[in-house]
Amino acid sequence: MDFRLDGKVAIVTGANTGIGQAIAVALAASGANVAAVGRSSMDETAAMIGDGAMIEIRADLSTTAEHGRIVEETVAWSGGVDILVNNAGVIRRRDAIDFTEDDWDTVIDTNLKSAFFLSQAVARRMIPSGGGKIVNIASLLSFQGGIRIASYTASKSGLAGLTRLLACEWAGKGVNVNAIAPGYVVTNNTQALRDDPDRSQAILDRIPAGRWATPDDIAGAAVFLSSRAADYVHGSVLPVDGGWLAR
């Protein structure tokens, strides 16, 4: 099995911290050149990857307006694009009865709409070039409802559906589209949960592995799905959850 990514070019969104940063670093460690995309500085990610293997592309992924530029800058830097990891995401927490339209649109635009149209823009490069790999970062909320995160649940359920749809359309064109569904990970998005002692303990008690995930726990699955070892994997939504869904 070939898990190496030497000579491959990967776009990773939300690569400044958390899961995106861990994935960007892991892809680079496996040989890929990484275009790290996000709204804030990715100096820390660049320092972890090292000189020459990363380009920083500042972009607002709440809109589709900059997708073309992201792809163009990546191709100008590297000559092509072989891998896309749609990781950038936001979350809003509020009881459903009080959820606002802004809470809804902000999350859907970034987590679902932007992921689809960036995939489209990248696939328009990949398909004429012989194919590539697209990895979407879904969630346990692609399978479950959760509470107080209506637009996040909708976006991650939608992303799982899009993963399957794009796999059906693009598998025969050489593009593998899959998703990872992380469990509860120590990131900025889960800070509110971890700050609530009762909620945090209830979550921990449900995880068979007995701990929250770290971003590095997700990175190995991303390397696998980006590599030749996953050439016949299409349309999967792979839980990396410490056994949460098996409980």
> Is 232 among the catalytic positions?
no
What percent of the chain has a predicted confidence (pLDDT) above 90?
96
Q: Is the pLDDT of residue 192 over 90?
A: no
- CB atoms < 10 A from the CB of 175, how many? 22
Q: Is the pLDDT of residue 1 over 80?
A: no
pLDDT tens readout for residues 197-221 = 999 999 999 999 999 999 999 999 9
Catalytic residue among 8, 67, 152, 158: 152
What local confidence, expressed as pLDDT, does residue 153 receive?
98
Q: Tell which residue, 239, 246, 107, has the closest CA to residue 182.
A: 239
Query: Helices 114-129 and 150-170 sit at what angle, rounded to 10 degrees?
Result: 20
Query: What domains can be seen in the chain, in order of their start residue?
Result: 9-246 (3.40.50.720)
58 backbone dihedrals φ, ψ, rounded to 5°: -80, 125
pLDDT tens readout for residues 112-161 = 999 999 999 999 999 999 999 999 999 999 999 999 999 999 999 999 99
Q: Tell which residue, 202, 181, 203, 164, has the closest CA to residue 89.
A: 181
What local confidence, expressed as pLDDT, does residue 110 receive?
98
What local confidence, expressed as pLDDT, does residue 189 receive?
83
Pull the structure tokens for residue 47.
Answer: 């320092």
Q: Is the pLDDT of residue 173 over 80?
A: yes
What percent of the chain has a predicted confidence (pLDDT) above 70?
100
What local confidence, expressed as pLDDT, does residue 73 receive?
98
pLDDT average, residue stretch 65-87: 98
What local confidence, expressed as pLDDT, does residue 51 receive?
80
Q: Is the pLDDT of residue 24 over 90?
A: yes
pLDDT tens readout for residues 46-70 = 999 998 899 999 999 999 999 999 9
3-state secondary structure of 102: helix
Report DSSP state, residue 209: T
| pTM (predicted TM-score) | 0.97
Rounded to whole angstroms, the Cα distance separating 231 from 167 reads 12
Taken as a whole, the chain contains a residue count of: 247
What local confidence, expressed as pLDDT, does residue 41 receive?
95
**Amino acid type, 91:** I
pLDDT average, residue stretch 25-42: 97
**Amino acid type, 137:** I
Q: Tell which residue, 135, 160, 127, has the closest CA to residue 230.
A: 135
